[in-house]
């Protein structure tokens, strides 16, 4: 397990205002507890079922903030809603937002996921449609409270491709500032330093934390 404070010091030296989401999808509740004891409070899961399992196992740790960061199937929406995550980072279309909105009886803070490198393997709205969809969700889905955007860097060995994808996402984030966008969630274990340089203020780290 990593020394969390050392990592946080490094992240803060890049930008004072970056929030760290500890992605726990590949580890057990024991690792979550260990990071918790080092002060970590925000955790991310990419599957609703696993989020529910850890949420139950860790019910004593009631100040943990769970973020949903993975693809949400329509048949899992009810379960996600019942878990009341602190942030749904992976809203990937207007239709998904609409379906979730229908089932909500509270306000759910949400990020619009952008597929900035236009990859078939990734969820999210296109760069071209992101602004319009963001505004449509705001207008038609009153229980979805959009707080910003989330994006995964381009899947490439060329750092310039990754940087370009972050820059594109950041531009959309900037253009949505006037509409209340505050969170720009970009960067994972392999590319978080670059993401922060490109303006990310929320990074999602998994594998790096557990080596
Ligand atoms: C798994 C995952 C992460 C963390 O990835 P690492 O490379 O392990 O840091 C971040 N974001 C999303 C959406 C993920 O699915």
* Parts of the chain with a pLDDT under 70: none
Cβ count near 202 (within 10 Å): 27
Q: Which pTM value belongs to this model? A: 0.98
Residue 75: per-residue pLDDT: 97
Residue 139: per-residue pLDDT: 98
Q: Is residue 108 within 8 Å of residue 99, measured between CB atoms?
A: no
67 lines ligand 1 (CB under 6 A): no
189 lines ligand 1 (CB under 6 A): yes
Residue 40: per-residue pLDDT: 98
| Closest residue CA from atom 7 of ligand 1 | 189
Full 3-state SS string of 151-207: ECCCCCCCHHHHHHHHHHHHHHHHHHHHHCCCEEEECCCCCHHHHHHCCCCEEEECH
Atom index in ligand 1 nearest the CA of residue 25 equals 1
Residue for token digits 């500890």? Answer: 22
| Closest residue CA from atom 4 of ligand 1 | 206
Q: Does residue 181 sit in helix, strand or coil?
A: coil
108 lines ligand 1 (CB under 6 A): no
Residue 211: per-residue pLDDT: 87
Atom index in ligand 1 nearest the CA of residue 189 equals 9
202 lines ligand 1 (CB under 6 A): no
pLDDT in tens, 116-146: 999 999 999 999 999 999 999 999 999 999 9
Residue 1: per-residue pLDDT: 86
């Amino acid at each position: 397990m990593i020394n969390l404070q050392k990592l946080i010091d490094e992240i803060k030296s890049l930008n004072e205002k970056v929030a760290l989401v500890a992605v726990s999808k590949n580890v057990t509740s024991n690792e979550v507890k260990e990071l918790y004891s080092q002060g970590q409070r925000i955790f991310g899961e990419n599957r609703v079922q696993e989020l529910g399992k850890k949420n139950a196992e860790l019910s004593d740790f009631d100040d943990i903030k769970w973020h949903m960061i993975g693809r949400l199937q329509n048949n899992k929406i009810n379960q996600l809603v019942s878990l009341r995550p602190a942030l749904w980072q992976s809203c990937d279309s207007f239709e998904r937002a609409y379906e979730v909105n229908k089932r909500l009886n509270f306000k759910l803070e949400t990020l619009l996921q952008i597929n900035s490198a236009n990859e078939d393997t990734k969820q999210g709205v296109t760069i071209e449609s992101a602004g319009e969809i963001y505004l449509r969700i705001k207008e038609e889905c009153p229980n979805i409270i959009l707080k910003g955007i989330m994006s995964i860097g381009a899947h490439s060995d060329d750092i310039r491709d990754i940087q370009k994808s972050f820059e594109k996402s950041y531009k959309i984030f900037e253009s949505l500032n006037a509409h209340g966008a505050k969170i720009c969630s970009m960067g994972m274990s392999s590319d978080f330093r670059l993401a922060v340089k490109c303006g990310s203020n929320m990074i999602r780290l998994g594998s790096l934390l557990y080596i």
